[in-house]
Amino acid sequence: MATSSGAGGLLRFAESRKNLTGCVCGLVGVGVTLTGAAGSLWPLVVGGLYAAGALIAPPERPDTPRFPTAGEQLDALRTDFGTLRAYLAEAELPAASRERVTALEALVEALLEPGWVSDPDHLHTLARAVRQDLPEAVDTFVRTRWWTRFSPGSEPPEEHLDRQLSALHEEATAIAASLRDAEAVRQETHTRYVEERGL
C-alpha cells in the first residue's frame, strides 16, 4: 500500500508544473552544454537551470470542488419528499392534524415542481422542512402521545403538533407568496414592454 502511494506521488510530481518547467530549463542547459559554453561545469549548469525552472513555475492548484446545482439539489429533495410522504402516510395522526399535514404536503409538492424554486434560501427552507422539521414534528408527537397515556391530564401533544404544522405551513406559504410576487412583477414588466414597443 505504501509502495502504491509512493508511486502515485512520484507520478504526480512527474506531471507537475514544477517538474515540467524544470525539465524544459534543464534541456536549455543541455543545449548550452552542447555548444561547449558550460565546459566541465555542465552538470551544475543543467542542474541549476532545472532547479531555477522548478522554483519559478507556478504552484499547483487543486481542482475546484464541484457542488450540486440548484436543479440537482431540487431533484434530491423531491426524492426525499417522496420518502417523507410514505412515512407520513403510515403515521397515526388525529383527523385535524392529518388535514394540516395533507395541506402542507400539497403546498410543498407544488413548490418542488421543476422551474419554481431556485432561490438558495427558499431551497434551504424547504429542505429543512422536508428532511428535519416535519418528520421530527410527527415523530415527536407519536412518541409523546404514547407516553401521555401513562400521565393523563398533561398538555395534549396534539396542540404542539398543530402549532408546529401551522408554523411550517406559514413558511411554505411565504415562499409561495414570494414566487407569486416575482411572477406578477415579471408579467407587469412584459406588459409594459409589449405596450411600449408599439409606440
Question: Does the pLDDT value for residue 192 go beyond 80?
Answer: yes
State the average pLDDT over residues 79-108.
94
State how far the Cα of 26 lies from the Cα of 50, in Å rounded to an integer: 4
Domain residue spans of the chain: 2-56, 70-197
Summarize pLDDT for 116-159 with one digit per residue, the tens. Answer: 888 889 999 999 999 999 999 999 999 988 777 667 667 778 89
Summarize pLDDT for 14-34 with one digit per residue, the tens. Answer: 777 777 787 888 788 787 777
Retrieve residue 96's grid coordinates.
385535524
State the average pLDDT over residues 84-104.
94
